[in-house]
């Protein structure tokens, strides 16, 4: 189908394009950008993007789909609908499914299930160790062939540093990336909230910042030693960010991301034990949050991700410490990016880069851009349109988010995936 997207403000952070113009789509690909259609192009459908922004489809570096194993929490169908409604066209799913993504058959099955029109492109992350147990390496080469884009441990640590080093060496042998969340398992043991004044007052066991920095220091040194390409997931503290900056200044090519929760919220938002704020890593102090938001603006942090984690109500309607960690996020990634940009005076193209071009760069893909020849993965949104986050509105099966009840600007109008209309706000009318 040939589609012309007309009269929108087209922002392509990768090329620096930011102007009112048209985008032309044919056979699932972008075939032209400009005032006039490419020769021979006859639009079969026209999308009016007046007042809207047309940008590359969002790329989310961390979104749990809960398949296989946790279908009572979410299914591929429900979460793909959420992704499309959120303008997300490509995502990486962490390996902590049940069973974990530690063997090629599981990865092939997931890729196969996700290969449907209107579904976002799914990049499984392979488990670095079997069962995420931190003892035996997975068949990384086989897993990569099956479709794994990187290797990691999700929320699980590798406690044995020798195993971690060998896992990095082995991954580096093939040029695979290793993605790790820095948290020392022993220092974080038993903790449920940031160790600080709030956790002390509420009587919640603390996870100190040092749990992040001790692990991060180890990872950075091992990355330097092994030469592996290291991506740090879900940074949570100002001190952690300082370590990343220092390592980069020292020549290490490390990248990192932060979640929408951690640039907007801090431990004060726990309030009266709100289980929606039970997250991993924990929400830290206001000072940490502000440092992360600033680090994302200046590029010290490469990417903003949703860390989408659907949790069922039964697992959240329990006392804070017993609640499962995680929050739904696919449908909040865009509005919370816009909110962050507005709060911190970040120009829109740079803000959108953090959820399009920058994650594409980390994935090593020529995607997340608007130019002839690439698949037509596009998001058209109304930056002024606003809505209140509510359980009813969320398409994800996970209704758990600390942002419930918040008024957020940024309404997705259309999401195109491979030129296919994956979501249209018009259809709701």
Partner 1 sequence: MTTSNPQLNSHGELIHLLSIEGLSRDILHNILDRAEPFTAVAEREVKKVPLMRGKSVFNLFFENSTRTRTTFEIAAKRLSADVINLNINTSSAAKGESLLDTVDNLAAMQADMFVVRHASSGAPYLIAQHLAATGRDHIHVVNAGDGRHSHPTQGLLDMYTIRHYKKDFTQLTVAVVGDVLHSRVARSQLHALTTLGVPEIRLVGPRTLLPAAAAQMIPGAPLRVCNDLADGLRGADVVMMLRLQNERMNGALLPSTQEYFKSWGLTPEKLALAKPDAIVMHPGPMNRGVEIDSSVADGRQAVILPQVTFGIAVRMAVMSMLAGGAQ
Choose, from 96, 102, 307, 418, the residue flagged as catalytic.
307
Instruction: Please report the beta strands in 38-101, taking only residues with DSSP state E, as ranges in sequence order.
Output: 45-48, 53-56, 58-60, 88-93
- Least distance from C-beta 391 to partner 1, angstroms? 13
CA distances from 428 to 85, 266, 412, 423 (A): 11, 35, 12, 10
Task: Name which of residues 370 to 409 contact partner 1 (CB under 8 A).
Answer: 402, 404-406
Binding residues with partner 1: total (CB under 8 A) = 29
Q: Which of 116, 135, 173, 317 binds partner 1 (CB under 8 A)?
A: 317
Place of tokens 């959108």: 352
- Least distance from C-beta 318 to partner 1, angstroms? 6
Residue (119 or 320) nearer to partner 1, CB: 320
Q: Which of 175, 299, 319, 372 binds partner 1 (CB under 8 A)?
A: 319
Examine residue 287 and tell whether it contacts partner 1 (CB under 8 A): no
- Least distance from C-beta 79 to partner 1, angstroms? 24
Is residue 307 annotated as a catalytic residue, yes or no?
yes
Contact segment (CB under 8 A) with partner 1 among 72-80, 112-120, 273-281, 345-353 equals 273-281
Examine residue 273 and tell whether it contacts partner 1 (CB under 8 A): yes
Q: Which of 1, 159, 185, 200 binds partner 1 (CB under 8 A)?
A: 200
Distance from C-alpha of 124 to C-alpha of 143, rounded to nearest angstrom = 9
Helix or strand run (H / E) with residue 112: helix 104-114
Q: Which of 274, 286, 395, 424 binds partner 1 (CB under 8 A)?
A: 274
230-251 per-residue burial string, b: 16 or more CB within 10 A, e: under 16:
bbbbbbbbbebbebbeebeeee
Examine residue 175 and tell whether it contacts partner 1 (CB under 8 A): no
- Least distance from C-beta 305 to partner 1, angstroms? 22
Q: Which of 16, 105, 190, 203 binds partner 1 (CB under 8 A)?
A: 203
Examine residue 286 and tell whether it contacts partner 1 (CB under 8 A): no
Read out DSSP for 118-148? TPPEEEEEEESBGGG-SSSB--HHHHHHHT-
Examine residue 1 and tell whether it contacts partner 1 (CB under 8 A): no
Nearest to 66 by CA among 330, 258, 260, 356: 330
- Least distance from C-beta 10 to partner 1, angstroms? 36
Are 222 and 254 spatial neighbours (Cβ–Cβ below 8 Å)?
no
| Rounded (5°) CA angle 337-342-348 | 65
- Least distance from C-beta 291 to partner 1, angstroms? 18
Q: Which of 21, 78, 199, 328 binds partner 1 (CB under 8 A)?
A: 199
- Alpha-carbon dihedral sign for residues 235, 152, 155, 333: positive
Q: Which of 11, 107, 204, 330 binds partner 1 (CB under 8 A)?
A: 204
**68 contacts: CB under 8 Å, gap ≥ 6:** 97, 98, 99, 106, 109, 110
Which residues of this protein are in contact with partner 1, per CB under 8 A?
A: 195-197, 199-206, 208, 269, 271-275, 314, 317-322, 402, 404-406
Residues with active-site annotation: 307
């Amino acid at each position: 189908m040939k589609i012309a997207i007309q009269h929108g403000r087209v922002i392509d952070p990768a090329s620096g394009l930011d102007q009112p113009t048209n985008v032309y789509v044919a056979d699932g690909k972008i075939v032209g950008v400009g005032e006039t259609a490419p020769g021979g192009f006859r639009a079969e459908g026209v999308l009016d993007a007046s007042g809207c922004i047309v940008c590359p489809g969002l790329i989310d570096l961390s979104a749990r789909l809960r398949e296989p194993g946790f279908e009572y929490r979410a299914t591929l169908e429900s979460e793909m609908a959420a992704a499309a409604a959120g303008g997300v066209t490509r995502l990486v799913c962490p390996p902590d499914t049940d069973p974990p993504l530690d063997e090629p058959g599981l990865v092939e099955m997931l890729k196969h299930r996700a290969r449907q029109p209107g579904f976002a492109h799914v990049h499984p992350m392979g488990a670095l160790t079997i069962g995420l147990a931190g003892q035996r390496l997975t068949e990384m080469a086989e897993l990569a062939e099956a479709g794994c884009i990187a290797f990691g441990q999700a929320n699980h640590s590798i406690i044995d540093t020798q195993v971690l080093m060998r896992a990095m060496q082995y991954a580096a042998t093939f040029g695979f990336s290793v993605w790790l969340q820095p948290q020392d398992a022993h220092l974080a043991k038993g903790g449920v909230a940031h160790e600080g004044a709030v956790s002390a007052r509420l009587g919640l066991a603390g996870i100190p910042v040092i749990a992040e920095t001790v692990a991060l220091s180890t990872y950075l040194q091992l990355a330097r030693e092994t030469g592996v390409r290291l991506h740090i997931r879900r940074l949570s503290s100002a001190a952690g960010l300082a370590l990343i900056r220092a390592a980069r200044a020292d020549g290490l090519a490390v990248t990192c991301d932060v979640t929408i929760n951690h640039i907007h919220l801090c431990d004060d938002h726990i309030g009266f034990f709100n289980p929606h704020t039970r997250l991993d890593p924990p929400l830290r102090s206001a000072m940490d949050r502000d440092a992360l938001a600033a680090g994302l603006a200046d590029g010290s942090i490469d990417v903003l991700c949703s860390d989408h984690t659907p949790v069922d109500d039964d697992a959240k309607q329990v006392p804070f410490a017993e609640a499962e960690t995680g929050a739904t996020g696919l449908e909040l990634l865009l509005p919370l990016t816009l909110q962050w940009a507005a709060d911190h005076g970040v120009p829109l193209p740079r803000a959108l880069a953090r959820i399009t071009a920058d994650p594409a760069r980390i994935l090593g893909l020529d995607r997340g851009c608007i130019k002839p020849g690439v698949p037509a993965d596009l998001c058209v949104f109304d930056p002024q349109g606003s809505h209140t986050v509510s359980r009813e509105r969320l398409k994800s099966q996970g209704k758990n988010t600390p942002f419930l009840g918040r008024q957020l600007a940024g309404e997705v109008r259309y999401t195109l995936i491979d030129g296919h209309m994956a979501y249209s706000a018009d259809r709701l009318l």
